[in-house]
Structure 1
Amino acid sequence: MMRIGLFLLTNLAVLVVAGLILSILGVGSYHGAGGLNLTNLLMFCLVFGMAGSFVSLFMSKWIAKKTTGTQVIESPSNQAEQWLLTTVADLAQRSGIKMPEVGIFYSTQSNAFATGWNKNDALVAVSSGLLERMSADEVRAVLAHEIGHVANGDMVTLSLIQGVVNAFVMFFARIVGDFIDRAVFGRGDGEAPGLAYFAITMVLDIVFGILASAIVMWFSRYREYRADEAGARLAGKQNMINALLRLRDEQNLPDQMPKEMQALAIAEGQHQGFSFAALFHSHPSIEQRVEALQKLQVQ
């Protein structure tokens, strides 16, 4: 129920924000007597596409805490929590960013994630399973990987790419939907679009959205390589490799990371080699990541 509530709340926020922006800009209907008003349509799609991405970005820390049950360490209650805070503080300072919030979430699987709307207001969280089974050097490498995401500004860049992709998916779905409605169902100039137009547009939103997600997932995979490199430079290449191999060895453990958080996690779920489906994975395979690290000229 919580996830449904968060989904509805996020979408309500998007509608409110997008509606206000469109009103301020004075953007009217994109359906006119002579057909589609492409300028209004493009503005409508850009506002809704970008609003969806950036509302999610600004709410990302709050949503992450709620969906994963992350407990932020306000004051360390034991030596392990104190070590986590000290280690993250050191890595953040070396990366030139402000100290992020640090948290722990319950999961039998070793995992971690970073999120936040900018590099100086982030959250880094690790799973209880990771703390139980990884060595201190491996945990440090995982934390360095997550700090790398924050320092690289990956959350903002991914939101920008997702927003632009969303906008063009909406734009072309409505252009093609309008063409089909006129050519196949005979809607004439000046006639309001009917159910056929809206049904076609909804289907095209889904189809184009799936295809376009390959672009977003390409960047997601690219940023994992960059974060692995940051982890290697901050915590040692072999430690980063060892941490990744540990994640690979745990592939049969139950994955308790919420689906909406998997793209932010250090481990998405393992897959081998290349296939068409790999185009839609948010992470490269562990083997690909280890191979890239082995070629990296760093100790």
Structure 2
Amino acid sequence: MSGFQVLKPGALALLQDLGRRGYQHLGLTTGGALDERAARWANRLLDNDQNAALLEISLGRLELLAGLDTRVALAGADLGFEINGKPCQPWQSYSVRAGDHLRFGYARSGLRAYLAVAGGFTGRCRFGSRATVVREGMGRALAAGDRLECLPDQSPGALLRRVPPRYCTSGESGDALRVLRCYQYQEFGEAERRRFFDEGYRISSDSDRMGIRLAGPALGWSQGGILSQGIALGAVQVPPDGQPIVLLNDRQTIGGYPVLGTLLPLDLFRLAQMRPGTEVHFEAIDVEEASALMRTFYDFFG
């Protein structure tokens, strides 16, 4: 075996990269790692290409058997990762030998961890990406008995690394989530806009990779129907019940509900790690400030 065998698939483990770009006009959504920041760190620890395929492990309970000597790196949520029963912390890289048993327990903090392997996993590439989007038939969740292929480690003697502590956070809590005021923002009433930013919401358990549903003050919309429009990552959509939905990577490509704005991607990565029941608040951010923050992020990762 030239990779890893899946002994137990866990709650939800998916092969992901940074997403499928340039195909939304065909109805194909982007997919990709929900916490892009953690995914990039996992690949960076191994000097992988930033778009190298890796595993997104939600909630935990995944078990793998290594079939080769290599290095792995883990970033994101603390899922109680162990190698041969020895506890291993996230935000670090580790050496793995053929026959080693990799196990993830239940999530201790956050929701999703990202497991990278030296050189990346070599799953099937479709429309320029290895990202899994189950509802579109682009791959599927891991199942017991699956094999995850990867190339031999090209730098077997490379030093193991650790992410500096100031960057090691699963993003569960913190400051308000920042929203760019766009789409139909100006068409919402002043009272509705104020309610959204002044009052808190809780993350609903009825959330998935398509979107995070929020429970809280209902937002009214009195402008009637709108034409279907392209849906950006992080769009804050307001359906007829008035409960906002923050749309994620597996979102539909177009939609006919009004949109209050879009979440700053850096805060979207944080939101993807928050558990159901977590209270969240929102604040507005200007385009210039948002652009500067995202430019700094992408410059850092090259």
TM exceeding 0.5? no
Instruction: Give the TM interval when normalised to the shorter protein.
Output: under 0.3
Q: Which has the larger radius of gyration?
A: 1
Q: Which has the higher helix share?
A: 1
